[in-house]
Amino acid sequence: GTVTLFAGKGIPIGISSFDQILNRDFTLLDKTLLIADFLECNSVVSIIMRPRRFGKTTNISMLRNFFSIPTIPTIWTTGVSCSRTLR
């Protein structure tokens, strides 16, 4: 999939919560098209194997936020790649 860079105020060192990265306006690589890959995959289990500090926890946090029931308006309604793709 395509990755888009959202330039923010800084790099989120030590922060792996997708919500915190978005809400604090950190620089982010938009990997939300990973969600479409998961939805299109027919596997029962998916394994994400990447080197240390490669964004695994952040991507899992992103998936958790996407599939949870929102209580307030979130970034999903404002135009990350996946929201445009899945509409």
CA angle at 44 for the pair 41 and 59, rounded to the nearest 5°: 65
Gyration radius of the chain's alpha carbons: 13
Structure token digits, residue 26: 């950190």
pLDDT score, position 55: 84
Q: With 0.75 as the threshold, say if the pTM is over it.
A: no
- Residue for token pair 């860079």: 5
pLDDT for 36-79, tens place per residue?
A: 888 898 888 888 888 888 888 998 998 888 888 766 666 655 55
- Kindly report the number of other CB atoms within 10 A of residue 27's CB atom: 13
pLDDT score, position 80: 62
Structure token digits, residue 53: 């500090």
Report whether pLDDT(83) > 70. Answer: no
